[in-house]
Amino acid sequence: MKIAIVTFAAYGAGAQYTAQLANALAAEKQVAVLLPADADTSQFRQSVSLVKLPLPFNLIPAAFKTLSPGFMNLFLNTLDREKPDVVHLVFEHRFPFWYACKVHGKHPFVVTIHEPRAIPNRGWVGNLTVGALEYTNNSLLARCCDRVIVHSEKLRKTSLISKLPAEKVHAVPHGNFSFFSSYGQGKEKKGKNILFFGRIASYKGLEYLIEAAAMIRPSVPGLSVTIAGGGNLSKYAKSIADREFFLVHNRYIPDEEAADLLQAADLVVLPYTDGSQSSLISAAAAFKKPAVVTSVGDFADMVEDGRTGLVVPPRNSRTLAEAILKLLNNDELRTSMGENAYCKMQGAEYSWDTIAAKTITIYNEAIASYMSMKKG
C-alpha cells in the first residue's frame, strides 16, 4: 500500500502531527507527504518521501494561492504522479473542499478533522464570516471522502460529524508528542513558573489566567508566568505590563525553544473557554509536567483530574487560581502528577504505532468503500 499524506499546514501542531503519523506509517507502508515547500520537515524520518508544493508559509497568501486554478491543477497532477492507493488529508486547515471532491474522483480519500466545531474566536464579525466559512468547508470536506477521523468519541457527537453515517467516522486519539523531550537543554531553573503556550486566541481564556496569577502572586515568592505564542496581545497589554512577572514571547515559538520553556515550567495551564483538544498537554507530559485545564472539549479525557493534573470549570479565575496554587505549593503532588502524565501519554492508547495500525485499518475500509462506489 502506498499512502499519500496531504497537509497545507506549514508549521506548528499541524506539521508536528503530520510528521509523527507519517513516520509511524512508514514503518510498514510506503508514504509520501505532500506539504508546503517552506514547511518544518525536521521531524520526518528518511523513510518518508517529501513532496514540496509552492504554497506560501503565511496564512493569507496561502489562502489566496489555493483559490488559484493553476495551483489546484498543479497539486492534483503532483498527487496523481505519486500513484497512491489511498490519500489522507491529515489537517483540514487551508484545504478547500472542492480540492477534496477532485481528489475523491480519482483516489480513495480519508480526512482527519481536528476541529469539527465552529470555535467563536474571532469576534462576532469574524465568527459570522471566516468562522462560518471554515465550518461549512469542513462539513463539505467530510462529505467528499470515504472515511473521516476525529480524535475522540465525544467529537463524533458534534453537529458536523453526527450527521454523517456512523460507519464513515472513526475516533482515533491524538498521539503523544514525546519527541519534544529530545530538545530539552536542562537550563538552570529559578523560582516557580507557569506556562501558557500557543497561538493567542480569545477562546484560550488568557484573561482568566492573568486574573488567577494576580490572586496567587502574593502567596508564591519568585513566581513568574510565561506567555508564549504568536497573535494579538493588545487587549491584555495593561494586565501583563509587569515584565518581571509576565515573561512574554509574542511570536511563533520553534520546537527547540518550546522544549526549553516546557522544561523550565512547573506546570502548564490551559484556561480555555472553548476548544476540542490540545497537543500542549502531551508535550508537557513529555517533560513530566502536569497540566491545569478547563473542562472543555476532550481536556478532561487527556488530563485525569487529581492524577495527571487538575480540571476546573471554564471562565472561573478563582477556581483556576486555587488549582494552580495547590500544585505550586505541593512539590510532591506536582511531581507525582507529572510522572503519571508521562506514563499516560507513553501508554498504548497514545502510541503512534497503535495509531498507525488503526489508521491502516481505516485506509483499507476507505479503499473498499471507494471501489464499491466505483463499481456502483
**What are 324-356's pLDDT values in tens digits?**
999 999 999 999 999 999 999 999 999 999 999
More confident residue, 315 or 276: 315
Same domain? 252 vs 129: no
28/168 same-domain check = yes
Claim to verify: residue 170 and residue 220 sit in the same structural domain = no
For residue 104, is pLDDT > 90? yes
Q: Are residues 41 and 101 in the same domain?
A: yes
Domain CATH for 206? 3.40.50.2000
Same domain, 250 and 291: yes
pLDDT digits (tens, 9 = 90+) for 79-93: 999 999 999 999 887
Residues 122 and 18 in one domain: yes
Let me know whether 311 and 245 are in one domain.
yes
Q: Are residues 299 and 357 in the same domain?
A: no
- Is residue 311 left, alpha or beta, with left meaning phi > 0 and alpha meaning psi from -120 to 50? beta
Do 369 and 252 reside in the same domain of the chain?
no
Euclidean distance between CA atoms 349 and 353, whole angstroms: 10
Same-domain status, 7 and 72: yes
- What pLDDT sits at residue 124? 47
pLDDT over 90, % of the chain: 69
User: Using alpha carbons only, what angle is made at residue 367 by residues 362 and 369, rounded to the nearest 5 degrees?
Assistant: 90
Is residue 170 over pLDDT 70? yes
Kindly state the average pLDDT of the residues 295-301. 88
User: Do residues 119 and 219 both lie within one domain?
Assistant: no
Both 249 and 292 in a single domain? yes
Write out the residue range of the structural domain in which residue 35 sits: 2-175+351-375
Half-sphere exposure of 290 (CA within 13 A, CB side): 27
| Long-range contact pairs involving 216-219 (C-beta distance under 8 Å, separation at least 24) | 216/321, 216/324, 216/325, 216/328, 217/245, 219/325, 219/329
Q: How many domains does the chain have?
A: 2
Cell of 156: 463524533
Question: Do 154 and 117 touch, CB atoms closer than 8 A?
Answer: no
